[in-house]
Amino acid sequence: MFEKDTLLGKHILITGGGSGLGLAMAQQFYTLGAKVAICGRTEAKLQAATAQIGEGSLYYVCDVRDPAAVTAMFDYLTEQWGHINGLVNNAAGNFLAASEDLSANAFASVVDIVLKGTFHCTSEFGKRLIQSQGTASTAQEATTQGGNIVNIVTTYTETGSAFVLPSACAKAGVLAMTNSLAVEWSTYGIRVNAIAPGPFPTEGAWSRLMPDPSIEEAYKRGIPLGRYGQNEELANLAAFLMSPMAAYIQGGCITIDGGERLMAGQFNRFVQWMPRPMIKQAFGAMKSSRNPA
Ligand code: HXC
Ligand code: NAP
């Protein structure tokens, strides 16, 4: 579907790109011709990841909770590339906890990474792009200097979720940021969209959110497509949103979850409870008892 140069001319920073979904996106963007940088808190992980991504990919050790560190990272990347026109806010923290047991610091640690970290990076990104457009001599030039933000949220941004309260609150805030800026920054040719992934078995997520294999198995049965997502599938969606093919998608939140989000439909659970022949048999028996021959 993609040409080799689909993302040529894109200079993209992926926060939390040293592992999991962030790394998969970085690899796909690089393959499609983009210049790619990743950041995170763990240098060894970032070093190994850039080796995997390919020659010329950059890393910067940065805790996105620290606005001064984020500014320094953008200074460094601007120095390297001239400008940055793509940002994926992917860095996140999460864990399972009963909400009544959360300390103020536990709540803050997740909200600071997810919501404030996304703001810090988005703000640096936007300010710099908008300022550089001030020097454009034509409106056309300003538009071609536009940018692209993809925020990684979750499917529970709208519904909330038990046992991940800080993440649910923070990701809902990121979705509000996505929608707000999609309107406000359209003027500058900046597209802002979100991806809401369902379950993808990354080490980071699974080690914190899947207590044991039996729960993993039970969880899978609740996904209409009957399997977990593959990192490349999400990376393909992100590449599409970053590319000119998605030029008219603004303020979207695209769900990629094998249909899991829709399982609230009251009778959907039949597909989990019994195989299709048994469902049909049960429905047939009910019909016969209501309409005896
Ligand atoms: C209760 C916890 C806790 C837990 C930490 N805390 N883990 N409380 N249950 N499991 C509390 C600590 O006691 C402390 O509060 C406060 O949180 C900060 O803890 P630190 O360990 O000092 O924080 P820090 O080193 O900054 O680490 C942040 C983190 C950690 C969020 C806690 O998990 C992390 O680094 N995560 C990054 C990667 C990650 O989470 N990836 C998964 C993303 S998956 P006190 O009061 O004791 O000081 C995802 C998927 C969603 O988002 C959807 C899936 C389907
Ligand atoms: P992951 O591998 O743990 O990714 C999170 C990354 O963020 C890590 O590389 C981590 O590196 C980095 N990070 C954490 N705190 C940071 C900070 N303060 N500053 C900079 N970087 C930080 O987990 P993942 O599953 O790939 O998650 C990626 C994204 O997808 C997240 O936004 C997550 O909420 C979202 N998501 C995942 C799933 C899923 O099922 N996997 C589902 C829904 C949404 P360091 O710890 O080294 O800093």
- Check if CATH label 1.20.1630.10 holds for domain 11-290: no
Pocket, ligand 1, Cβ cutoff 6 A? 92-95, 97, 103, 105-106, 109-110, 154, 167, 199, 204-205, 208-209
Orientation angle between helical segments 43-53 and 20-31, nearest 10 degrees? 30
User: Which pLDDT score, from 0 to 100, does residue 192 have?
Assistant: 98
pTM: 0.96
User: Which pLDDT score, from 0 to 100, does residue 272 have?
Assistant: 82
Q: Can you tell me which residue has the tokens 């200097």?
A: 145
Cα(159) to ligand 2 centroid in Å equals 21
User: Which pLDDT score, from 0 to 100, does residue 292 have?
Assistant: 82
Which ligand 2 atom is nearest residue 21's CA? 26
User: Which pLDDT score, from 0 to 100, does residue 58 have?
Assistant: 98
Beta bridge partners of 14: 38, 88
Cα(291) to ligand 2 centroid in Å equals 55
User: Which pLDDT score, from 0 to 100, does residue 140 have?
Assistant: 57
Terminal C-alpha separation, the chain: 55
User: Which pLDDT score, from 0 to 100, does residue 264 have?
Assistant: 86
Q: With the C-alpha atoms ordered 179, 184, 187, 188, is the resulting torsion angle positive or negative?
A: negative
Q: In the numeric block, which tokens belong to residue 208?
A: 């914190």
Q: What is the pLDDT along the chain (293 residues), one digit of tens a residue?
A: 899 999 999 999 999 999 999 999 999 999 999 999 999 999 999 999 999 999 999 999 999 999 999 999 999 999 999 999 999 999 999 999 999 999 999 999 999 999 999 999 999 999 999 999 876 666 556 555 799 999 999 999 999 999 999 999 999 999 999 999 999 999 999 999 999 999 999 999 999 999 899 999 989 989 999 999 999 999 999 999 999 999 999 999 999 999 999 998 889 888 888 899 999 999 999 999 998 87
Ligand nearest to the CA of 25: 2
Domain residue spans in the chain?
11-290
Rounded-to-integer distance, Cα 251 and Cα 136, Å: 25
Active site residues: 156
Which ligand 2 atom is nearest residue 171's CA? 34
With 0-12 CB in 10 A as exposed, 13-18 as middle and 19+ as buried, what is 6?
A: buried
Instruction: Determine which helix (DSSP H) or strand (DSSP E) holds 52, and give its type and residue range.
Output: helix 43-53
